[in-house]
Structure 1
Amino acid sequence: MKAEVTAIIESASEGGYWAVSPEFPGANGQGETIDEARNSLKAAINLLIEDRLEDALRGLPEDAIRETLSIT
């Protein structure tokens, strides 16, 4: 899946950088460089999506229709 989200990256007071995305509350990243913080945030967002998908699929009836939609 490919999507675009907002990344807000700021200098951390203790050094390095931290990153958050307003579209995914609870997902944050950190790193010594901007690239590390960005990649850490990407990983956190992916984990959050996977976790929410598992929660949503748990307990669905066997005859539920599951499709993949492309959003542009």
Structure 2
Amino acid sequence: MKSSYTAIVKQEGEWWIGWIEEVPGVNCQEATREELLESLKITLREALELNRTDAIGAAGGDFEELEIAV
């Protein structure tokens, strides 16, 4: 599994907002940059685990997991 991702972050007024470039739907808003980065990490972990669970469920039984590099 990929261990690093790209966070796109910016300050909008009093808030920090950010997205994970490689994973649609992973975005957060926090009061500080540090809080934003932590929220993005947590949200990314949760999204990856949910996607993994969904993929395994869709595969049913008797499947193989392979790492693919791009």
| TM-score bucket (shorter structure) | 0.7 to 0.9
Q: What are structure 2's unaligned runs of at least 5 residues?
A: none
The TM-score with structure 2 as length reference comes to: 0.78
What is the CA RMSD across the aligned residues, in angstroms? 2.1
**1:1-72 superposed matches below 5 A:** 3-13=3-13, 15-66=14-65, 69=67
Q: 1:32 deviation in Å?
A: 0.9
Deviations 1:37-58 (A, max 9, x none): 1111111111110110111011
Moved over 2 A (4+): 59-67
Q: Give the % identical residues.
A: 28
Q: 1:31 to 1:61 in 2, by over 3 A?
A: closer
Q: By percentage of residues, which structure has more strand?
A: 2
* Residue correspondences, number: 69
The TM-score with structure 1 as length reference comes to: 0.76
